[in-house]
């Protein structure tokens, strides 16, 4: 027997329960994984509170982790017992042990420690698809990153700076601004105290930015559109303040023939080929120190409810690890 954090109904952090579960042996194509570090992400909160409804209850939450392969199912040939691996976008991460399809796992080199590996995959692969697929950032571009001191935000800032972009970052405090600026953000914008669009226009001499990476959602959607240069790309990829309300596409024309997209990591790792492409590029920049995954908070897995409360209250920066 082992333990996992499960929910039996949607709700607040109090619905997260430390349950005893039975894992069993892996089926064909699966492995049994002993997990060493689990990541915390806003998608976990959306699943917990019912924004993203789950098909079955009880459900083990969590969408990324790292661990050690302990048993192989029939037909698994690319992994061996003892391999260190990590994954993202596979529900069931809040567990001491689990079964998982081998094709969703990525081997982790010794140069990357467990806590980094367990918290870098979902955020790092998100940064990868945003920067290389949704809008391919080029040297000389000016971009706007929301939640610039968060897990995805810090990776976006660092990676975009490495690509030669000028990075404007939205933050909520002086401390978060300092963290973002130490990691590739050239100009902070304080969303609580400043008019975002006016400040961005000021910083870009009236031109606007090439792309907005907006994890905030409802409250900042219109401001984000007003930050864009003609033909700019509005990327709304998160719902921190709620989902964007329906809007008429005709508003995009007078603002500069803009583009709006709502991507998800699930599509960008839907095949083994897409997953490996992003993971290899991520592991390279992490291993070389080009992009750092700052694990700034640590909680015991059984205390996941406290971690959820802190993330919702915007008390966290960088990545948060849950230790089984």
Rounded distance between C-alpha atoms, residue 243 and residue 236, angstroms: 9
Among 105-114, 159-168, 238-247, 271-280, the least confident range: 238-247
Structure tokens at 58: 């009880």
Average pLDDT over residues 65-90: 97
Query: Taking residues 75-84, what's their average pLDDT?
Result: 97
DSSP secondary structure of 58-109: SEE--SEEEEEEEEE-TT--S--TT-EEEEES-S--SBSEEEEEGGG-EE--
For residue 305, name the pLDDT band (cuts at 50, 70, 90): very high
Average pLDDT over every residue of 1-11:
96
Percent with pLDDT over 70 in the chain = 100
β-partners of residue 65 are 38, 87
Q: Kindly report the number of other CB atoms within 10 A of residue 145's CB atom.
A: 32
Residue showing tokens 């105290």? 193
Mean pLDDT in residue range 205-221:
91
pTM, two decimal places: 0.93
Percentage of the chain surpassing pLDDT 90?
91
Q: What is the pLDDT, as a whole number, of residue 314?
A: 87
CATH 3.40.50.720 residue window(s) in the chain: 139-262
Best CATH choice for the domain 139-262 from the list 3.40.710.10, 3.40.50.720, 3.40.1360.10, 1.20.120.550: 3.40.50.720
As a whole number, mean pLDDT of residues 60-80 equals 97
How far apart (Å, rounded) are the C-alpha atoms in residues 317 and 303? 18
pLDDT over 80 (residue 242) = no
Across 36-49, average pLDDT: 95
Predicted local confidence at residue 180, as pLDDT: 96
Q: Is the pLDDT of residue 175 over 80?
A: yes
Lowest mean pLDDT of 3-7, 53-57, 276-280, name the range.
Answer: 53-57
Looking at residue 294, its pLDDT comes to: 92
Chain mean pLDDT for the chain: 96
What pLDDT sits at residue 3? 98
Alpha-carbon torsion, ordered 12, 13, 14, 18, to 10 deg = 140
81-92 average pLDDT score = 97
Q: Is 54 helix (H, G, I), strand (E, B) or coil?
A: coil
Q: Is the pLDDT of residue 241 over 80?
A: no
Of 181-190, 210-219, 257-266, the least confident:
210-219
Confidence (pLDDT) at 219: 79
Domain 2-121+293-323: what homologous superfamily? Medium-chain alcohol dehydrogenases, catalytic domain (3.90.180.10)
Question: In this model, does residue 277 exceed pLDDT 90?
Answer: yes
Average pLDDT over residues 271-288: 98
Confirm if 166 and 142 have CB atoms less than 8 A apart. Answer: yes
Beta bridge partners of 85: 67, 107
In the chain, ranges of CATH 3.90.180.10 domains:
2-121+293-323
> What pLDDT, on the 0 to 100 scale, is given for residue 312?
93
pLDDT grade for 106, boundaries at 50, 70 and 90: very high
């Amino acid at each position: 027997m082992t333990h996992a954090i499960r929910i039996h109904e949607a709700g607040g952090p109090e619905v997260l329960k430390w349950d005893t579960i039975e894992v069993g042996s892996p089926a064909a194509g699966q492995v049994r994984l002993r997990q060493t570090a689990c990541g915390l992400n806003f998608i976990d909160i959306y699943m917990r509170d019912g924004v993203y409804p789950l098909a079955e209850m009880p459900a083990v939450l969590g969408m990324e982790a790292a661990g050690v392969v302990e048993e192989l199912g029939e037909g698994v040939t690319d992994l061996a017992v003892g391999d260190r691996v990590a994954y993202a976008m596979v529900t069931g991460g809040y567990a001491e042990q689990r079964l998982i399809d081998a094709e969703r796992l990525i081997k982790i080199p010794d140069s990357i420690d467990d806590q980094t590996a367990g918290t870098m995959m979902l955020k790092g692969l998100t940064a990868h698809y945003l920067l290389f697929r949704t809008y391919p950032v080029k040297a000389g571009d000016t971009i706007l990153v929301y939640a610039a001191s968060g897990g995805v935000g810090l990776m976006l800032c660092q990676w975009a700076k490495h690509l030669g972009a000028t990075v404007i970052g939205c933050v909520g405090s002086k401390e978060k601004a300092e963290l973002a600026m130490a990691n590739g953000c050239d100009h902070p914008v304080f969303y609580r105290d400043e008019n975002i669009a006016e400040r961005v226009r000021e910083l870009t001499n009236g031109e606007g930015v090439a792309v907005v990476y907006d994890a905030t959602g409802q409250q900042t959607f219109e401001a984000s559109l007003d930050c864009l240069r003609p033909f700019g790309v509005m990327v709304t990829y998160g719902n921190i303040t709620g989902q964007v309300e329906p809007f008429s596409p005709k508003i995009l024309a007078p603002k500069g023939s803009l583009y709006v997209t709502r991507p998800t990591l699930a599509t960008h790792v839907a095949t083994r080929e897409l997953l490996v492409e992003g993971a290899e590029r991520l592991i390279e920049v992490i291993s070389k120190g080009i992009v750092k995954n700052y694990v700034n908070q640590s909680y015991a897995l059984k205390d996941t409810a406290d971690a959820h409360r802190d993330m919702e209250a915007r008390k966290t920066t960088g990545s948060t690890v849950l230790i089984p």
